[in-house]
Structure 1
Amino acid sequence: MRTFPRHPFDPISDGDKLKEECGVFGVIGVAEAANFVALGLHALQHRGQEAGGIVSYDPEHGFNSARRFGYVRDNFTKASLMETLPGELAIGHVRYSTAGSKGHTAIRDVQPFFGEFSMGGAAIAHNGNITNAAALRRELIERGSIFQSSSDSECIIHLMARSIQKNIPERVKDALRRVEGAFSVIAMTRTKLIGVRDALGVRPLVLGRIGDDGYVLSSETCALDIIGAEFVREIEPGEMVVISKGELESSRPFAPAKPRFCIFEHVYFSRPDSILGGRSVYETRRQIGVELAREAPIDADLVCPVPDSGTPAAIGFSQESGIPFAMGIVRNQYMGRTFIEPTEQIRNMGVRLKLNVNRALIKGKRVILVDDSVVRGTTSRKIKDMILDAGAAEVHFRIASPPTAWPCFYGVDTPDRGKLLAATMSEDEMRDWIGVDSLRFISLDGLYRAAGEARGRNPDAPQYCDACFSGEYPVAPSDQIEKGFQMKAAE
């Protein structure tokens, strides 16, 4: 979902954390479905914090929608708003926008998108990124389509409008067969809830049951828990489900392909209390720490996570190494984006607004810091300075993912390749630039082992999408290649 830049002041990320761009959630067959969607979106807030939207359908009132900037809790908990979204069928979306686009954020870019067709209205919400969106957009505009947003996801609605199929589900199939890249899509008509994953299954989508006749579609299982829904199964790569009240039909609209689920969902994007591919995300991250301790041991006094995403890996590292685990860095959970006016002085405080060092614990200690990733390295340098200022004797970084050397084009907000530290420096050079005593990343094989692949990565047929680490893109990013992006040369 390619759109506009995030809020200019986000002191914890500083453009130095990869951002999953969105989460989707839909419910059918329960009274006040929009309220359930709001709860589900709240549980998926980590997947998108800039804006959210809900569309509902009620036979008496028809389709209704609400789109708002900000957190779900600040918008979709107000009775006055939720009363405008009646019905037993609703879908919703939370999003980040990407840093690569130009312009000002507009409410028209907030999903779900809605369209009226000859056979009735339909709304869609999309998690992922369409890699041929620019070419599709040019073609559609030349044929008379009028776009209302800058989002690549809107292409799907226009492709549906041009389809000659007689019903909405078949038009969804038609549209998505033209789309390249990664997509988990949920859609709704007046009577049906639809879920689709691309043939590679890059982005997640799961199915749940609620009540006697209700079904739920969600980006993650953690959002099923918040509404008391029962997890049924994952929507399979290349599968489309069409759900009416109490009934579900499954089909396979795309050519078969070997799945390539995004491995970074295991590392960072998904909530640790979610289940991916039958595996606990928390357990996978803990196992990453175990593998790190085996691959990159170091003599030290404390293992400290960089909160919060580094915590499970730090626990695993501590358990495997025998070095005590400690909360050497504490996060201020209550510092929001509207804390105070972001003056230049406040900007310079950077991560100190959200992270603080436990000085009594750190002083005089040799500290291992475990973080999920290094993107540009700027946050790592600031955290290192904070630890040294607190009197640490040594600072060692252990990173729970391989070096991020390539941008993602499948629904993750990634800097241009030239801004990725690992694209221009070796591991030793990164260590010296960050200014730590040692720096080690988990190997790609180690990451695969932690994710349940005992033999590591199959180089001839990788089990996951790991393009951000390997440079091997399972779907050629045609729009980016057209702009001059250089793919990795075949070895």
Structure 2
Amino acid sequence: MPPAHPFDDDKLREECGIFGVVGVTDAANFVALGLHALQHRGQEAGGIVTYAQDTGFNSARRFGYVRDNFTSQSLMQTLPGSIGIGHVRYSTAGSKGQTAIRDVQPFFGEFSMGGAAIAHNGNITNADALRRELIERGSIFQSSSDSECIIHLMARSMGRSIPDRMEEALRKVEGAFSVVAMTRTKLIGVRDPLGVRPLVLGQIGDGWALASETCALDIIGADFVREIEPGEMVVITEKGVESHHPFRRAKPRFCIFEHVYFSRPDSILGGRSVYETRRQIGVELAREAPVAADLVCPVPDSGTPAAIGYAHESGIPYGMGIIRNQYMGRTFIEPTEQIRNMGVRLKLNVNRALIQGKRVILVDDSVVRGTTSRKIKEMILDAGAAEVHFRIASPPTAWPCFYGVDTPQREKLLAATMSEDEMREHLGVDSLKFISLDGLYRAVGEASGRNAVQPQYCDACFSGEYPVEPADQIEKGFRMKAAE
């Protein structure tokens, strides 16, 4: 199977997107639409589980895009029922690069009170310890995914209902999790006490939906009701929504990178438009890092809103100096070495007529390894640009994420081994500036910037301050910031 992003390996990627619906006709079709809207959160594989009284629980798991798998009438007819959940995946935990179909969620378990399926967004930071303990006690795992631990913990619970067993299981889990689950009649949504990963509630007619982002509610015509609160569990039937908080309350630490890159720009997070937040990041960046130039150019598509904000605040004209090829899918030819060396040029092309002779400000969302940034710089210079200045809409990414995001080992992160000036020299650009952490916080609505004593978001990838200790990684030798 070809890699999901053959020419875009220099971005942080979310692990997955989750979606569920209850109280509708043909739930599977609604789930497929919701997953299609969440495809940016995972392109490797997808799965859907539904329940119908006549056929029981039904499931389908496939590699690749939702549009290529869950649109055929013959397949969708095998997924009847008015309740269903789904999941799109990009592997972080488990056997990365060698995903087996057994690793594709949702996962299903049969309990004494009936069956249940779960789909999980996030990462369990004590999964290795839980897995060892469960195996020693007789559990037989079917996948390499950390998420399967939840099913086995539920099986060992003595709770009288599926929601009770889920509560007990999740109290033993550390890390970040947003979960959608289903029984024969109930749709369940849960967020971890810190609310690191997103989850929202919507209503469609007499039915209800849960989704990672509001854009997935839009596609099915559902009204956005509210976000599921950190530490909240909702149990939804056709009669309505029951809510309670089974975990000890904690100060929320929502992932700030959702605002920077992960979420779709047409989604709403924390009552704020993601697009407007990204545009405001560009405004803050222009204030913090001005430079004399002729053109502000986004690295599409993730740098576009910030570039618009930068141009507006700086007064420098905005232009599409780089054009993205929208038609390069995952099944593009497995390239020959000569074609593979073209790298990013297969996806991006420079608008020479606009670039030539200009002092260009390139605005991108982040620098991870720096490989793509160097290639883009070379393309801009080859097109005749007089100067190239990089402006980055996030602080330097110097630490890996252990909460459901695919990040390289720390030594492969450019900002972990180089100063800003060393990075500028490595990339070969005339100037390089990142937005400050305080500037990023101001852009997301925290007027006074970051609270150094009690940060308002999870920003561990920038600060190295992890709100939940990554126990499994420490056991493998990872050194926390305080240990350096």
Determine if the TM-score, normalized by the shorter chain, exceeds 0.5: yes
Residue 77 of structure 2 corresponds to 83
Deviations 1:166-216 (A, max 9, x none): 1100000011000000000000000000000000000000000001x2000
Question: Which of 12, 15, 39 in structure 2 is aligned with 1:45?
Answer: 39
Deviations 1:79-111 (A, max 9, x none): 000000000000000010128846722000000
Distance change in 2, residues 1:439/1:100 (3 Å): farther
SS at match of 1:111: coil
Distance change in 2, residues 1:254/1:84 (3 Å): same
What are the equivalent positions in structure 2 for 1:196-211 lying under 5 Å apart? 196-211=190-205
What are the equivalent positions in structure 2 for 1:363-382 lying under 5 Å apart? 363-382=356-375
- 1:278 equivalent in alignment to 2:271: yes
Tell me by how many angstroms 1:9 deviates.
6.7
- 1:261 equivalent in alignment to 2:254: yes
Residue 213 of structure 2 corresponds to 220
- Paired letter, 1:321: S
Deviations 1:366-415 (A, max 9, x none): 00000000000000000000000000000000000000000000000000
Question: Which of 470, 474, 480 in structure 2 is aligned with 1:481?
Answer: 474
Residue 411 of structure 2 corresponds to 418
- 1:454 equivalent in alignment to 2:481: no
- 1:464 equivalent in alignment to 2:475: no
Question: Which of 5, 18, 27 in structure 2 is aligned with 1:10?
Answer: 5
Moved over 2 A (4+): 6-12, 98-104
> Aligned pairs, how many?
484
Deviations 1:449-477 (A, max 9, x none): 00000000000000000000000000000
SS at match of 1:387: helix
Give me the whole-angstrom Cα distance separating, in 2, the residues matched to 1:8 and 1:185: 26
SS at match of 1:422: helix
- Paired letter, 1:367: V
Tell me by how many angstroms 1:346 deviates.
1.9
What are the equivalent positions in structure 2 for 1:43-122 lying under 5 Å apart? 43-98=37-92, 101=95, 104-122=98-116
Tell me by how many angstroms 1:345 deviates.
1.5
Tell me by how many angstroms 1:10 deviates.
2.7
SS at match of 2:408: coil
Give me the whole-angstrom Cα distance separating, in 1, the residues matched to 2:304 and 2:458: 24
Question: Which of 289, 298, 322 in structure 2 is aligned with 1:305?
Answer: 298
- Paired letter, 2:409: D
- Paired letter, 2:64: G
SS at match of 1:86: coil
The answer as to whether partners of 1:397 and 1:438 remain within 8 angstroms in 2 is yes
The answer as to whether partners of 1:132 and 1:477 remain within 8 angstroms in 2 is yes
The answer as to whether partners of 2:15 and 2:42 remain within 8 angstroms in 1 is yes
What are the equivalent positions in structure 2 for 1:329-478 lying under 5 Å apart? 329-478=322-471
Give me the whole-angstrom Cα distance separating, in 2, the residues matched to 1:299 and 1:158: 59
Residue 24 of structure 1 corresponds to 18
The answer as to whether partners of 1:67 and 1:107 remain within 8 angstroms in 2 is yes
Give me the whole-angstrom Cα distance separating, in 1, the residues matched to 2:55 and 2:94: 39
Distance change in 2, residues 1:294/1:102 (3 Å): closer
SS at match of 1:415: coil
- Paired letter, 1:71: Y
- Paired letter, 1:256: R
The answer as to whether partners of 1:199 and 1:256 remain within 8 angstroms in 2 is yes
The answer as to whether partners of 2:4 and 2:43 remain within 8 angstroms in 1 is no
The answer as to whether partners of 1:327 and 1:358 remain within 8 angstroms in 2 is yes
- 1:319 equivalent in alignment to 2:312: yes
Tell me by how many angstroms 1:7 deviates.
4.1
Tell me by how many angstroms 1:347 deviates.
1.6
Residue 146 of structure 2 corresponds to 152
Question: Which of 201, 225, 229 in structure 2 is aligned with 1:232?
Answer: 225
Q: Percent identity?
A: 85
Which ranges of structure 2 fall in alignment gaps of 5 or more residues? none
- Paired letter, 2:268: I
The answer as to whether partners of 2:93 and 2:146 remain within 8 angstroms in 1 is no
Give me the whole-angstrom Cα distance separating, in 2, the residues matched to 1:252 and 1:262: 20
Taking structure 1 as the reference length, the TM-score comes to 0.97
SS at match of 1:243: strand
SS at match of 1:174: helix
Residue 286 of structure 2 corresponds to 293
Taking structure 2 as the reference length, the TM-score comes to 0.99
Distance change in 2, residues 1:99/1:121 (3 Å): closer
- Paired letter, 1:81: L
